[in-house]
C-alpha cells in the first residue's frame, strides 16, 4: 500500500505546532458520560462492571486508567478493537498475560467489556521530555520518507483516535506503545501483524521511543 502523496498532503495539513502545545497543556478532569447517570445500566453493562471489578481493575484500573505502564490504558478504546483483541487472546492468536484472563469470556462478555471501557473518558497526560516528543510528532504526522515509514496519522488519525478496526493509540503509556512496536517488529505480536510489522520494521529504536512518548501526551 502506497498512499504516499495523499499522505504527504494530509501530513502537511495536520502538523501544526498546535499538537505539541495541546500535549503539554493539562486538561481538566473528564466528566462522566451522561448516559451512565440517567438510566439503569443494561444487563450487559452490569455484567461487564462485575467482571471489571473482580478482575480487570486489578491491572487496568476500574476506569481503564492503569497506573503501571506494563498494563495498557483502555479508557476510550474502540469497543470493536477491544472485543477482537480479547477474542484473539482467548484463541491464543495474541500471546501474553491476557491469555488466562480471556480464557473463559464469552463473545457477549467481550463485547460488553469493550463497551464498558469505551465509554470511559480518557485522561490527559503531560510529557516531560519535549525534545524527544518533537521527534515523535514529526514521525507521527509525516513518517520518514528516507526509510519509507508511512505517517502514523494516515491510519490512526491526526488525533490518534483510531477507528473501529484501528486502535486508539493517543494517551497510551509510552512504555507499552514502545513495547508493542518492538513486538510487531520481532513478529512477537502474532495477531494481525502484517501492517504494523511493515511499519515497525522500518523504525529505529529512537523513532519508536520518540513516537511513543509523543503519543503518551496526546488526548
Ligand atoms: C494480571 C494483569 C491483567 C489483568 C487482570 C487483565 N489484564 Fe488485560 N492486559 C494485561 C497486559 C500485561 C496487557 C498487555 C498485552 C500483553 O502483553 O499481554 C493487557 C492487554 C489487554 C488488552 C489489549 C489492549 C490493546 O490496546 O491492545 C485488552 C483489551 C485487555 N487487556 C482487556 C482486559 C480485560 C477486559 C480484563 C478483565 C477481564 C483484563 N484485561 C485483565 C494485563 C492484565
Ligand atoms: C497502514 C495503516 C497503519 C499505519 C500507517 C500505522 N498503523 Fe499502527 N496499527 C494499524 C492496525 C491495523 C493496527 C491493529 C493491529 C491489530 O489488530 O492487532 C495497529 C496497531 C498499532 C498499535 C497497537 C496498539 C495497542 O493498543 O496495542 C500501535 C502501538 C501502533 N499501531 C502504532 C503505530 C505507529 C507509532 C505508527 C507510525 C509509525 C503506526 N501505528 C502506523 C495500522 C497502521
In the predicted model, what is the mean pLDDT of residues 53-68? Answer: 96
Q: Is the pLDDT of residue 97 over 90?
A: yes
More confident residue, 84 or 14: 84
Q: Is the pLDDT of residue 81 over 60?
A: yes
Which residue has 501544526 as its cell numbers?
16
Which residue has 455484567 as its cell numbers?
47
pLDDT of residue 38: 53
Q: Which of 101, 104, 168, 190 to mutate to test the pocket of ligand 1 (most atoms within 8 A of CB)?
A: 101
> Can you give the pTM of this predicted structure?
0.86
Residues 89, 139, 181: CA angle, nearest 5 degrees: 20
Q: Is residue 41 very low, low, confident or very high in pLDDT (cuts 50, 70, 90)?
A: confident
Q: Is the pLDDT of residue 137 over 70?
A: yes
Contact indicator for 219, 204 with CB cutoff of 8 Å: no
Chain mean pLDDT for the chain: 86
Residues whose beta carbon lies within 6 Å of some atom of ligand 2: 72, 139, 149-150, 152, 154-156, 166-167, 169, 177, 180-181, 191-192, 195-196, 199, 203, 211
Q: Name 204's Cβ contacts closer than 8 Å, sequence gap at least 6.
A: 147
**DSSP sequence for 53-84:** IIIIHHHH-TTS--SSTTSPP-TT--HHHHHH
Q: Name 24's Cβ contacts closer than 8 Å, sequence gap at least 6.
A: 126, 127, 130, 217
Q: Is ligand 1 within 6 A of the CB of residue 85?
A: yes
Please, what are the domains in the chain?
Answer: 42-118 (1.10.760.10), 125-216 (1.10.760.10)
Q: C-alpha grid cell for residue 207?
A: 523513532
Q: Is residue 39 very low, low, confident or very high in pLDDT (cuts 50, 70, 90)?
A: low
Amino acid at each position: 500500500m502506497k498512499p504516499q502523496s495523499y499522505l504527504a498532503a494530509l501530513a502537511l495539513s495536520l502538523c501544526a505546532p498546535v499538537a505539541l502545545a495541546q500535549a503539554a497543556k493539562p486538561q481538566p478532569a473528564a466528566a462522566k458520560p451522561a448516559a451512565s447517570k440517567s438510566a439503569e445500566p443494561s444487563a450487559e453493562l452490569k455484567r461487564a462492571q462485575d467482571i471489571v471489578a473482580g478482575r480487570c481493575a486489578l491491572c487496568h484500573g476500574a476506569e481503564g486508567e492503569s497506573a503501571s505502564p506494563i498494563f495498557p490504558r483502555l479508557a476510550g478504546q474502540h469497543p470493536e478493537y477491544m472485543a477482537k483483541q480479547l477474542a484473539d487472546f482467548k484463541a491464543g492468536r495474541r500471546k501474553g498475560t491476557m491469555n488466562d484472563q480471556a480464557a473463559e469470556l464469552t463473545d457477549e462478555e467481550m463485547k460488553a467489556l469493550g463497551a464498558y471501557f469505551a465509554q470511559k473518558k480518557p485522561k490527559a497526560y503531560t510529557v516531560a521530555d519535549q525534545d524527544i516528543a518533537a521527534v515523535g510528532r514529526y514521525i507521527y504526522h509525516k513518517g520518514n520518507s528516507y526509510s519509507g515509514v508511512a505517517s502514523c496519522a494516515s491510519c490512526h488519525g491526526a488525533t490518534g483516535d483510531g477507528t473501529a478496526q484501528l486502535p486508539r493509540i493517543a494517551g497510551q503509556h509510552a512504555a507499552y506503545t514502545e513495547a508493542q512496536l518492538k513486538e510487531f517488529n520481532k513478529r512477537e505480536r502474532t495477531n494481525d501483524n502484517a501492517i504494523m510489522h511493515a511499519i515497525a520494521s522500518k523504525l529505529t529504536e529512537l523513532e519508536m521511543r520518540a513516537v511513543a512518548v509523543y503519543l503518551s501526551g496526546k488526548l
